[in-house]
Amino acid sequence: MLSPDARQVATEILRPPAGYTLDRTVLTSYSLDLEVVLALPLAVLAQSDRGVEELLEDPLLLLEALREASGRVQVFVDASGIALPRVQRELYAALEASVHPVRAPGEGVFHPKVWVARFTGEQDGRVLLRVAVASRNLTFDRSWDVALVSEAEPGAEAEPGAEAEPGSEPLAALVRGLPGLAVQPLARPLTEDLASLAEELGRTRFPAPEGFDGAIDFHVLGLGGPRGAPWRPVTEADRVLAVAPFVDRRGLDTLAASGAGSLALIGRDEALDALPEGTLAHWEDVQVLQEAALAEADDGTVGRSAGLHAKLIAAERGGRASWLIGSANLTRAAFSGRNVEVMAELSGAAGSADSERGVGIDRFLAGFQRLCTPYQASQRPEAEDEAAAARRELEAARDDLLERDLAVRCEAGEAVWRWRLAGQLPEREGVAIDVWPVTLPAEQARTWPEEPAWGLSMQQLTAFVAFRLRWLEGEEELEPVTLVAKLPAQGLPEARMQRILRTVIDSPERFLAFLRALLGGLEDVADWALERPADPDSAGWGERLEAETLLEDLLRAAAREPERLETVRRVMDDLMADAEGREVVPEQLRAIWQAVDGALQEESQR
């Protein structure tokens, strides 16, 4: 079980091993915070252990990390799962090519939480694949989760017609099938990259962690929709432990049908309270997390939830223990194939609670059960039924909205651009829908059917659209349903990223300081962004910004790491593209850069 801190989990999973670089990564999630996707490339490429909130404070640092990570980080998220961001950032425009809404073919939700990272050796180009199967979404939620991480080199390429490794082929099928689940067509290069990655996954056997036997087997549910018999995660067992935040009668009865003499369940109070009477009759041990375990740590980080979110099933039989870890809750939607889910299976000798060997249920509970307390049923208030019905109406309106043929249209004007939402939003009795570009604060939302159009600067243009669905009936105020949709967009100018760059590099001093740090790599940029003096005119600041002092750094980089100057070239080209950008590039630096760049061009042509 992992500490509820998304930052540590994310950076550790994607951080390259010594001697390797991150080539590409594919992330799947049911829900997504855009700020997490902003922070991941930064934390991984800059190899920074700083807090996410600190790293997000400097847009210049973020922009360069995103540019360097372009094409390497691809996120596939359920179409309804992009959360409304807490902070409006123009940098969200940089994520549009990396975030891909998808839908489950079985009319449920796209629910897997799988990360596949491909690393290449810096010296020999060897390929290393790392896979993480988790219960955590790509959010800042501070919940109790579980994750399984393993890495291995792909096996030899199979002969034509030969079968792929059976344990990893389901995972390969998921990656291979992502283009078919995408709401909008994927670019051909990305589709080809996914096919190539899937081929490598299919011939890779990922070793189980220490204490378990052999390799990991993967189960992918729902790619074909709810066809055939429901998945039975446990067929025969003497003892079963199940942990999940969401449960229903069908899911629990499926596990009880294993015939296990001992059934134990750890869940959430509210989900257990909602079960029909008698559902828990077969479960002799039912527990929930204690209040102390649910409390958030007072460390200044941001989080929305501190509840149980781990999903696992453990079964013992004949001294052996099998574990299933991943995204599936104990529900009909998960087991029937309506949802797309991924579970990883591993097994080993059960052992005992006080044994240093073995991977049985008792050993797990010896550490985790101290956080739990016996479940005590509570009666739901009558008003909850009305609130639940209203919530279903809002969710139905959301689903209807996501099925609509909507698009973003952008038109250039004399001073500002005109951004508007094209298409018809659903009109349901009792439901109001607010809409606005995600780069604007929610206070500037328009309520449908008021025309959803705004005058925006170029850097505020975006394909991400925020929606808020409010319930208007009844006396009790109901929390609105909010989401962000990535829509097809026409008229977005190619110069948006350059304009964002010029917004954050707004003076020669700021540019020179950034360029100096950039020559040292993203680590130095992080130090510069977070430790620079607050007052540019403070003692020593101007002296360090003299353009001539950069010549030595440029020449050193050209001699030792010429590839590092590619980033400098991109920044210079963007700024020199028009008069506004040229104002922040000192004339002396232009001459120095032209000389260095010219020498590099001549060297590359030899």
Of these ranges, 151-165, 386-400, 530-544, 583-597, the one predicted with the greatest mean pLDDT is 386-400
Confidence band for 139, pLDDT divided at 50, 70 and 90: confident
Count CA atoms within 13 Å of residue 473 on its CB side.
Answer: 11
Percent of the chain with pLDDT over 70: 82
C-alpha distances (whole Å) from 596 to each of 390, 586, 591 are: 65, 16, 9
Q: What is the pLDDT of residue 163?
A: 59
Q: What is the pLDDT of residue 78?
A: 97
Read off the pTM. Answer: 0.86
Q: What is the mean pLDDT of residues 583-599?
A: 83
Of these ranges, 4-8, 411-415, 597-601, the one predicted with the greatest mean pLDDT is 411-415
Confidence band for 60, pLDDT divided at 50, 70 and 90: low
Confidence band for 387, pLDDT divided at 50, 70 and 90: confident
Q: How far apart are CA 48 and CA 55, in angstroms?
A: 9
* Beta strands at 213-221 and 341-349: parallel, antiparallel or unpaired: antiparallel
- Mean pLDDT (the chain, rounded): 84
Q: What is the pLDDT of residue 203?
A: 93
Q: How far apart are CA 419 and CA 455, in angstroms?
A: 6
Where do we find the tokens 């991941």? 40
Q: How far apart are CA 592 and CA 551, in angstroms?
A: 7
Is residue 364 classed as helix, strand or coil in its secondary structure? helix
Q: What is the mean pLDDT of residues 488-493?
A: 95
Q: What is the mean pLDDT of residues 322-342?
A: 96
Partner residues linked to 489 by β-bridges = 408
Count CA atoms within 13 Å of residue 370 on its CB side.
Answer: 5
CB 328 within 8 A of CB 311: yes
Q: What is the mean pLDDT of residues 581-592?
A: 82
DSSP string computed for 440-461: S-GGG-EETTS--EEEE-GGG-
CB 114 within 8 A of CB 342: yes
Q: What is the pLDDT of residue 40?
A: 77
Confidence band for 195, pLDDT divided at 50, 70 and 90: very high
Higher-pLDDT residue of 603 and 166 is 603
Q: How far apart are CA 83 and CA 29, in angstroms?
A: 12
Q: How far apart are CA 179 and CA 177, in angstroms?
A: 6
CB 74 within 8 A of CB 41: no
Q: What is the mean pLDDT of residues 537-559?
A: 59
Q: What is the pLDDT of residue 16?
A: 87
Which amino acid type is present at position 434? Answer: D
Smallest CA-to-CA distance from 595 within 554, 562, 566 is with: 554
Q: Is 420 left (phi over 0), alpha (psi -120 to 50) or beta?
A: beta
CB 100 within 8 A of CB 27: no
Write out 164-216 in H/E/C secondary structure: CCCCCHHHHHHHHHHHHHECCCCCHHHHHHHHHHHHHHHCCCCECCCCCEEEE
Q: How far apart are CA 36 and CA 497, in angstroms?
A: 20
CB 377 within 8 A of CB 281: no
Q: Which long-range contacts (CB under 8 A, 24 or more apart) does 578-586 make?
A: 580/502, 581/498, 581/501, 581/502, 583/508, 584/502, 584/505, 584/506, 584/507, 584/508, 584/510, 584/511, 585/508, 585/511, 586/508, 586/511, 586/512, 586/547
Q: pLDDT digit string (tens) for 214-255? A: 999 999 999 988 877 789 999 999 999 999 999 999 999 999
Dihedral of alpha carbons 15, 19, 24, 28, sign: negative
- The H or E element that residue 523 is part of is helix 522-531
Count CA atoms within 13 Å of residue 209 on its CB side.
Answer: 13
CB 585 within 8 A of CB 575: yes
Of the listed ranges 262-266, 444-448, 526-530, the one predicted with least confidence: 526-530
Confidence band for 435, pLDDT divided at 50, 70 and 90: very high
Q: What is the pLDDT of residue 540?
A: 37
Is the confidence at residue 567, as pLDDT, over 60?
yes
Higher-pLDDT residue of 61 and 3 is 61
Where do we find the tokens 């006080």? 354
Percent of the chain with pLDDT over 90: 52
Helices (H) and strands (E) counted in the chain, each on its own, are 20, 22
Q: What is the pLDDT of residue 429?
A: 92
Q: pLDDT digit string (tens) for 21-50? A: 888 999 999 999 998 888 776 666 555 555
- Count of Cβ atoms closer than 10 Å to residue 530 Cβ: 15
Residues with Cβ < 8 Å from 115, sequence gap 6 or more? Answer: 13, 14, 25, 26, 27, 28, 130, 131, 132, 134
Is residue 270 classed as helix, strand or coil in its secondary structure? helix
Q: Which long-range contacts (CB under 8 A, 24 or more apart) does 354-357 make?
A: 357/211
Q: What is the pLDDT of residue 534?
A: 41
Q: What is the pLDDT of residue 494?
A: 84
What structural domains and CATH numbers belong to the chain? Answer: 6-221 (3.30.870.10), 239-374 (3.30.870), 383-493 (2.60.40), 505-605 (no CATH)
Which amino acid type is present at position 44? Answer: V
Q: Is 309 left (phi over 0), alpha (psi -120 to 50) or beta?
A: alpha
- Count of Cβ atoms closer than 10 Å to residue 232 Cβ: 12
Q: pLDDT digit string (tens) for 275-321? A: 999 999 999 999 998 876 666 433 444 445 568 999 999 999 999 99
Is the confidence at residue 102, as pLDDT, over 70?
yes
Q: How far apart are CA 193 and CA 208, in angstroms?
A: 27
CA–CA–CA angle 459, 463, 468 (5° rounding): 110
Q: How far apart are CA 25 and CA 503, in angstroms?
A: 30
